[in-house]
Chain A
Amino acid sequence: MQDVTTRGAGAATAPAPRPTPGRRLRRALSPLLWLGPSIVLIAVVVLWPVIEMVRTSTLKISSSGVTLGSNGTTNYSDLFAEDDLLPVLGRTLFWVVGTVVVTMVLSLALGQLLNARFPGRRVVRWAVIVPWAASVLMTALIWKWMLDNYSGLVNRVLLDLNVIDKPVNWLAHPDQAMLWMMWVAVFVSLPFTSFVILAGLQTIPRDVYEAARVDGATGWRTYFQITLPLLRPAILIASIVNVINVFNSFPIIWAMTGGGPGHATDTTTTFMYKIAFYDQNVGESAAMAVVNFALVLIMVLLYLRASRWREEVR
């Protein structure tokens, strides 16, 4: 996709004899004609909410949604005074880092497996895709049901294997619930991540490995000294996309514990949602949203640097 740069660059210098003012205007406006619909859509659905969110975070809004005037920075000071905020932020960090690290490690192995030749590989690739195509909410709901303390599959299997002697209410205890939800987040992140790794593996030319073999490198050494360094761009991009996705992940926690008991399994996303729609405090929720937004923005900037999009996207 990158080899057409020079061809594309010729376009702006198309022959334009005697540019009249009318033609110049038309040329300046022609991008707007083609890009206009996209720009309008992004402006209305993405930029407007961003502005509205920032504005709302400075407003005093009644629980029924009526704006009662400016609130200065009170929404922010209210938010920072919440006893739950610090634990929620810490938990969000743990949730994001834990999920992404486990996802990346498993995906490196999974990508390798999907790249290896064995009978039925195609079908296995299809199976791995399923959690990617399926609704995350529905996947979270089946895990919730499998973890049911009364008649769930997990307890049944563990009882039959004599690992536990009575059913465990996995999702009632915050720490266990958190770990299980992180597992579900890993489960739904694995397909995308391992396919990015797979795509990365497929770009490594075969003769690199031939050369390594001639030099006497084998097995793990080849992997750590050749494969892994060459996978760097794929790993970097997949990590950042995952960090953003996992940070924004809402359905898993919402379906499995609702962030409860209390705020014990909330991340900043579900916390924000509960402030708005349970506590009916839209102003403070918007303040939380702005904080979330700023965090995502930082990650996006990291992504832009990592992807070096200016050089890559032609």
Chain B
Amino acid sequence: MRPRTVILTGVGWLVGLLFLLPYLQMLLTSLKPENELTKSPGTYLPSDWKWSNFVDVWSSQPIWQNMQVSLIVAAVATVVTLACALPAAYYTARNRFRGRNAFLLLVLITQMFAPTALVIGIYREMVALDLTDTLLALILVNAAFNLPFCIWILHGYFSSIPRELEEAAFLDGAGRVSALTRVTLPISMPGVVTAVVYTFIAAWNEYIVALTVTASPNRRPLTVAIPSFVTQYQEHWQFLFATSLIAIVPVVILFIFIERYLIGGLTAGSVK
């Protein structure tokens, strides 16, 4: 290897390690016995590797219920988003019509507004609709705020597929919808998968709206439940981070699969 490559490799691996360091610390903390967490100064490695923390965490708080909430909210929000985004992305990619630009502008503006900016309004709306403390409120909010990303990414894929392919299907007697489902959709699979995974993860990680509109402990998603491991009255950092890892590891693996398709949808086609 040339010296340049050696240095690059060294720096590269060091940077990678730095990014993983906090999560490594999560793992080490989650494996420590509780009495070791009150030692000062803190220890680097667990004196006693308590793998049982990952078993005990399930009985320390109803996190299984919280995980179910997270799963249901993320999964249903993903389905709703996709059901709305697919036709919209397909139609805007294939047709010019009055109001097309206005629609795309609306989508882009929505993308720029995180729920944080609107949380007071969302809270007031959910109170008015009597939807506070329901999963439906979380599903709607997550579906709406991830819709723009899905529309962009699918729009990009649909636009890049030649009409001729669909016209061939029309000639074979297929209708518009079946041309979409049999021809266009299979080719756009990377886009669809990216949209699904990204929405799922974003909904899984959503915090501020869930914090605001949920109240009952068993209707909170994981993000809202996790901080209650450490309060004025109890400090179970090992359980907090065990739960965090259980929540983080699956989505990181999913995320790695869609990495190369992401940028297009997040920058609305401005950077390819």
Do the beta carbons of A9 and B96 come within 8 Å of each other? yes
A87 in contact (CB, < 8 A): no
Write out the residue numbers on chain A whose beta carbons fall within 8 Å of the beta carbon of B247.
Answer: 135, 138
B241-256 at interface with A (beta carbon < 8 Å): 241, 244, 247-248, 251-252, 254-256
Contact (Cβ within 8 A) A120 B124: no
Complex contacts, A285 vs chain B, CB 8 Å: 120
Chain A residues closer than 8 Å to B151, beta-carbon distance: 38
Q: Is the CB of A244 within 8 A of B114?
A: yes
> For residue B26, which residues in chain A have a CB less than 8 angstroms away from its CB?
138, 142
Nearest-Cβ distance from residue B211 to partner chain A, whole angstroms: 8
Asked, given contacts A133-B201, A138-B244, A303-B112, whether A124 binds B23 with beta carbons under 8 Å apart, the answer is no
* Interface flag for B173 (CB, 8 Å): no
- Measured between beta carbons, the chain B residues less than 8 angstroms from A124 are 12-13, 15-16
Of the stretches A78-86, A88-96, A206-214, A248-256, the one at the interface is A248-256
Is A56 interfacial (CB 8 A cutoff)?
yes
Once A12-B97, A118-B8, A119-B9 are accepted as A-B contacts, the answer to whether A138 and B119 lie under 8 Å apart by CB is no
B186 within 8 A of A: no
Q: Which of B51-59, B60-68, B78-86 contacts A (4 or more CB under 8 A)?
A: B78-86
- Binding site secondary structure of chain B: helix
Task: For residue B202, give the distance in angstroms from its CB to the closest CB of chain A.
Answer: 10
Chain A neighbourhood of B106, CB < 8 A = 39, 42
The reply to whether B117 and A289 form a contact with Cβ atoms under 8 Å apart is: yes
Residues of B within 8 A of A10 (CB): 163
With a 10 A CB-CB cut-off, give which of A117, A133, A167, A249 has the most chain B CB atoms: A133
- How many residues on chain A are close to B (CB under 8 Å)? 114
> What residues of A have a CB within 8 angstroms of the CB of B266 in the complex?
192, 196, 241
The 0/1 profile, CB within 8 Å of A marked 1, for residues 133-153 of chain B is 000000011011101000100
Contact with A along B19-43 (1 / 0, CB 8 A): 1101101100100000001111111
Judge whether A127 and B226 touch: CB under 8 Å: no
CA distance A39 to B16 in the complex (A): 42
Whether, in the assembled complex, B5 has its beta carbon less than 8 Å from a beta carbon of chain A, the answer is yes
Verify A155–B97 contact, CB threshold 8 A: no
Say yes or no: A133-B255 contact (C-beta < 8 A), given A49-B125, A127-B17: yes
A254 to B215, CA, bound (A): 18
- Are B87's CB and A199's CB within 8 A? no
Distance in Å: Cβ of B145 to nearest Cβ of chain A: 7
Q: Does B178 sit within 8 A of A, measured CB to CB?
A: no
- Would you give the shortest CB distance from B186 to chain A, in whole angstroms? 18
| B110 in contact with A48 (CB, 8 Å) | no
Q: Enumerate B102-133 residues with CB–CB distance to A below 8 Å.
A: 103-110, 112-114, 116-125, 127-128
Shortest 3 CB-CB distances between A and B: which pairs? A49-B121, A53-B121, A45-B144
Known A41-B144, A127-B17; 8 more pairs at CB < 8 Å: A1-B264, A11-B94, A42-B110, A130-B19, A145-B241, A244-B114, A313-B104, A313-B269
- Residues in A lying within 8 Å of B, measured CB to CB: 1-4, 7-12, 31, 33-35, 37-39, 41-42, 44-46, 48-53, 56, 65, 110, 113, 116-121, 123-139, 141-143, 145-146, 148, 150-153, 155-156, 159, 167, 187, 190-192, 195-196, 199-200, 203, 233-234, 237-238, 241, 244-245, 248-251, 254-255, 269, 272-273, 276-277, 282, 285-286, 289, 292-293, 296, 299-300, 303-304, 307-310, 312-314
Query: Could you give 29 example pairs across A and B, Cβ below 8 Å?
Result: A1-B264, A31-B103, A35-B92, A41-B144, A46-B113, A46-B144, A46-B145, A50-B118, A51-B121, A53-B121, A56-B121, A56-B124, A118-B5, A119-B9, A120-B13, A126-B259, A133-B201, A133-B254, A133-B256, A141-B241, A141-B244, A150-B38, A190-B19, A234-B271, A251-B207, A307-B268, A309-B105, A313-B268, A313-B269
Binding site for A on B (CB under 8 A): 5, 8-9, 11-13, 15-17, 19-20, 22-23, 25-26, 29, 37-44, 80, 83-85, 87-88, 90-101, 103-110, 112-114, 116-125, 127-128, 140-141, 143-145, 147, 151, 155-156, 159-160, 162-163, 201, 204-205, 207-208, 212, 223, 226-227, 237, 240-241, 244, 247-248, 251-252, 254-256, 259, 262-264, 266-272
